[in-house]
């Protein structure tokens, strides 16, 4: 039986909320709900955002209240819902009216109006966005509290359409969406599903996970990462013995998925190459499922060839996959039969070091190293920073973790980060035990600082 200190598949996060644990969304988010059957999903979105630590306030159109009550949102957000019967102008406090009974009077603002809510917001999301609300927003028609609030805010606005396919694809709606996009409003594409009108087609509100990813990206976007090409490898490679058996490892792919989410929300163009995808991912992340060492290498070479057609900037490669160090020297062409009288002897041979083989003129190489002890790991990590001609792998950065710091498949990890400066002064940055997503943001920050230092000295 495998040691529970080494393998913990049950520890994988099963929901986005679990994955985002300890990755707080410190923003005031104004959720604007228009009259669609998809309004019930806005309640789920509000709940998710609260779990992430965001402050959430809600504005509802009159028609939205036919589908869901303001009280439902107030129970989740602990903020007064702004709607026709709740708006007041007795004072001009610019905060949101708290319903939390533990708050003191001094902490409670007394105004609940579209100007106060518009000023309070760091981010606004119109979800669901009906054809009518989209048209009004595009043309500056402020005939209800929802559009009045959106016109009054200076915060970034996201728009998540939800409507019948024919309405969505109409020339008028498409023109209005184009107008909103030209204004800098982010459109979160609807999905294809069975709609309320009992037809299947595009027009359903995007999944709540996708809405959360969009809000994370809007709040965390970093100019350094904007449109940078980032390739991430994850999971464990398999070396086939025969058509049905393989030598592999327990890498879950969770750290790679967390890195992909972090770098996507920071603004990078992310490609994830992995044997497994254990978490929800933004649809904009391009994924490729692979199995063998050669699959990983060919995928990277193909992406690099495509990149060179439109960019001279090196891609940033985070090699988080657990590749096979050894593979069977001979692979059986048919299934190896079990025998009571014979033993199976395998001849294994070393595999090519893919990270070392890749040209550093094409990739900024970020290596990942797992070792039994920190002492051995630091020595191995520093060796990876050396040039290839000196036996290294030309890595700019190495992320080291010890096998006792986190079992395979766990949602938490710990890292020691090294860069080229570490070869001169033995410096290293320690990231204490935390969620893999929280660590991914720290790793991204370290990469940014290291590359900015290199670029400034170039």
Distant-in-sequence, close-in-space partners of 117: CB < 8 Å, separation ≥ 6:
30, 57, 59, 82, 96, 149
Confirm if 99 and 81 have CB atoms less than 8 A apart: no
Closest of 347, 335, 232 to residue 287, by C-alpha: 232
Closest of 21, 84, 98 to residue 55, by C-alpha: 98
Closest of 235, 131, 237, 207 to residue 175, by C-alpha: 131
Tokens 């913990």 — which residue? Answer: 8
Closest of 35, 28, 195, 48 to residue 129, by C-alpha: 35
Alpha-carbon distance 133 to 131, whole Å? 6
Does the bond joining 128 to the residue before it have cis omega, within 30 degrees of 0? yes
Query: From the CB of residue 419, how many other CB atoms can be counted at a distance below 10 Å?
Result: 22
Task: Find how far residue 173's CA is from the centre of its chain.
Answer: 29
Alpha-helical segments (H) within 267-425: 293-308, 354-357, 374-384, 422-425
Encode 186-195: b = buried (16+ Cβ within 10 Å), e = exposed: bbbebeeeeb
Q: Is 308 annotated as a binding residue?
A: no
Q: Is 191 annotated as a binding residue?
A: no
Closest of 42, 12, 45 to residue 280, by C-alpha: 12
Q: Is 325 annotated as a binding residue?
A: yes
Phi-psi category of residue 2: left, alpha or beta, with phi > 0 → left and psi -120 to 50 → alpha: beta
Tokens 């699959």 — which residue? Answer: 295
Residues taking part in catalysis: 197
Handedness of CA 28, 187, 201, 279 (dihedral sign): negative
Q: Is 368 annotated as a binding residue?
A: yes
- Contacts of 77-86 spanning 24+ positions with Cβ under 8 A: 77/46, 77/50, 79/55, 80/112, 81/57, 82/57, 82/58, 82/112, 82/113, 82/114, 82/117, 82/145, 82/149, 83/59, 83/145, 84/144, 84/145, 86/112
Query: From the CB of residue 166, how many other CB atoms can be counted at a distance below 10 Å?
Result: 12
List residues bridging with 192 in a β-sheet.
202
- The annotated binding site is made up of 325, 335, 368, 393
- The annotated binding site for CTP is made up of 325, 335, 368, 393
């Amino acid at each position: 039986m495998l040691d529970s200190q080494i393998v913990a598949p049950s520890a994988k996060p099963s929901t986005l909320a679990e994955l985002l644990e300890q990755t707080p969304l410190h923003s005031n988010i104004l959720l604007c709900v228009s009259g669609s059957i998809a309004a019930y999903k806005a309640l789920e979105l509000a709940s998710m955002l609260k779990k992430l630590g965001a402050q959430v306030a809600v504005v509802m159109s009159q028609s939205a209240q036919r589908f869901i009550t303001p009280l439902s949102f107030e129970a989740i957000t602990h903020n007064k819902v702004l709607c026709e019967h709740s708006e007041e102008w007795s004072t001009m406090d610019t905060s949101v009216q708290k319903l939390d009974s533990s708050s003191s009077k001094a902490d409670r603002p007394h105004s609940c109006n579209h100007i106060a809510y518009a000023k309070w917001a760091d981010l606004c999301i119109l979800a669901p966005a009906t054809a009518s609300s989209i048209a009004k927003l595009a043309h500056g028609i402020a005939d209800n509290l929802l559009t009045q609030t959106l016109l009054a805010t200076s915060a970034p606005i996201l728009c998540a359409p939800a409507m019948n396919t024919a309405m969505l694809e109409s020339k008028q709606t498409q023109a209005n969406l184009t107008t909103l996009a030209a204004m800098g409003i982010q459109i979160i594409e609807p999905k294809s599903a069975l709609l309320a009108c009992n037809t299947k087609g595009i027009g359903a509100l995007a999944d709540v996970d996708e809405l959360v990813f969009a809000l994370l990206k809007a709040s965390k976007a970093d100019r350094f990462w904007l449109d940078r090409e980032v390739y991430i490898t994850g999971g464990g490679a398999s070396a086939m013995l025969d058509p049905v058996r393989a030598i592999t490892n327990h890498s879950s792919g969770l750290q790679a998925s967390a890195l992909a989410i972090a770098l996507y929300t920071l603004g990078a163009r992310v490609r994830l190459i992995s044997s497994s995808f254990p978490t929800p991912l933004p649809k904009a992340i391009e994924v490729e499922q692979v199995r063998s060492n050669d699959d990983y290498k060919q995928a990277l070479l193909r992406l690099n060839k495509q990149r060179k057609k439109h960019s001279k900037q090196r891609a940033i490669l985070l090699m988080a996959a657990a590749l096979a160090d050894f593979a069977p020297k001979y692979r059986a062409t048919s299934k190896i039969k079990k025998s009571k009288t014979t033993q199976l002897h395998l001849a294994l041979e070393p595999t090519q070091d893919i990270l070392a083989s890749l040209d550093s003129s094409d990739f900024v190489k970020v290596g990942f190293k797992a070792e039994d002890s920190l002492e051995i790991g630091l020595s191995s990590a520093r060796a990876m920073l050396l040039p290839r001609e000196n036996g290294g792998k030309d890595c700019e950065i190495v992320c080291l973790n010890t096998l006792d710091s986190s079992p395979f498949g766990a949602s938490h990890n710990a890292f020691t980060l090294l860069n080229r400066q570490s070869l001169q002064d033995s410096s290293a940055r320690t990231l204490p035990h935390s969620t893999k997503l929280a660590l991914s943001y720290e790793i991204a920050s370290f990469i940014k600082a290291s590359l900015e230092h290199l670029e400034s000295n170039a």
